[in-house]
Homo-oligomer: A and B are copies of this chain.
Amino acid sequence: MANIHDVAKLAGVSIASVSRMLAGENVRSAEAIRQAITDLGYRPNASARGLRLGKHHSIAVIVPDISNPYFAALVRGIEERAMTQGFRIVVASSDEQFSAESELLGNLIDAVDAVAIVPAEEGDRTRRMLADLNKPVVLIDRTVGDEPGFDLVHVDNASGAKAAADYLLSLGHRSFGIISGRQDTVPGRVRHQVFLQTLADAGIQVPAEAVKIGEFSRDFGRRAAQELIDNPTGITALFVGNNTMAQGALLSLHAAGVSIPGQLSFLCFDDFDLAELLPAPVTVISRPAIAEGHAAADLLLERIEHFGSPDQPPLEHKVLPVSLTIRQSCSAPASN
């Protein structure tokens, strides 16, 4: 409630001196000011400062759904880094809707210095919307168009998908199913295509009826797996494009009594809680959500610092490694 004038009066100086001392400059009566500040419990008003400086010390973080553990971990990573620089995190969930996303951003943008976003759509309208913000932006996990013009933080989806395919091939599988997420997103597309391409390079085609493409949701995973169960295709291995779909698929497979890895080897992208506790602990391609958050925040903080000045650091595209975590959901196919 006390403002800088109160402090100045109590310390017997002008408000300029208080402001300067707060900014770390040398001031004759620093001690008196410090005293007055603690006596009054003064803290500078963030809005006034924001108004004057055009800075807010805040970063907007837009994710499809904060209650998804992966995104929550991502937010945590961003938060950890941002906090060290005194930056606040403003979060919002887009529900994978471009419209929600752009409305959210409209409301938030004036109160933040930068945006970290997992965009709902990778199309050009998203790119334009973000460019119009005129603030530092980092794209996480996905991208927007071929020349996004923003910093990027991705994981090495291609290597992950290739590792998955190679591993299953090495076990002897020749007949595959795949459940993939939306092909208009980088993770959906890359994981899908690289997996299939790796098989193709080994001379193996995946029949159309064993390819399921849809939302990155538990519900779609469940339905897709159910279809595979209902229309047997003779596949011996199933690759699923992310953890939420995988959980759905496991639900269906479990309900149908499909034994893993006995009847079907199962491998998915993204680790998840308790994957190791399932009847057949799931082999996964795991990725470092917290580290992604760190990388995104670092990029953003760096860019905030230089924003507006001519010596912009060049755009960066950080690609973090993924790793194959082998558990027990994959084995050699049953010989027949």
- A residues adjacent to B (C-beta < 8 A): 1, 41, 43-48, 50-51, 56, 58, 65-69, 71-73, 75-76, 79, 83, 86, 88-93, 104, 106-111, 132, 134, 247, 250-251, 254, 272-274, 276-279, 290
Could you list 26 A-B pairs, sorted by A, with CB under 8 Å? A1-B134, A45-B51, A45-B110, A46-B111, A47-B47, A47-B110, A47-B111, A66-B76, A67-B69, A67-B76, A69-B69, A69-B273, A72-B72, A79-B91, A83-B104, A86-B107, A88-B92, A88-B107, A90-B90, A91-B91, A250-B277, A272-B273, A273-B274, A274-B274, A277-B278, A278-B278
A91 touches B89 (CB 8 A): yes
Bound: A65/B58 CA distance, A: 19
A58 touches B110 (CB 8 A): no
Across the A-B interface, the 5 shortest Cβ-Cβ residue pairs: A47-B50, A72-B72, A67-B76, A47-B51, A46-B110
How many chain copies does the complex carry?
A: 2
* Chain B neighbourhood of A273, CB < 8 A: 69, 247, 272-274
* Most chain B CB within a 10 A radius of its CB, from A58, A72, A76, A107: A72
* Chain B neighbourhood of A73, CB < 8 A: 67
A73 and chain B: residue at smallest CB distance: B67
Q: Which of B45, B134, B279 contacts A278 (CB 8 A)?
A: B279
Q: Which of B41, B44, B47 contacts A56 (CB 8 A)?
A: B47
Smallest Cβ distance from A133 to chain B, in angstroms? 11
A66 touches B72 (CB 8 A): yes
* Chain B neighbourhood of A92, CB < 8 A: 79, 83, 88-89
A110 touches B67 (CB 8 A): no
* Most chain B CB within a 10 A radius of its CB, from A67, A92, A254, A274: A67
Bound: A67/B70 CA distance, A: 8
Q: Contacts A134-B1, A277-B251; is A88 near B110 (CB within 8 Å)?
A: no
* Chain B neighbourhood of A251, CB < 8 A: 276-277
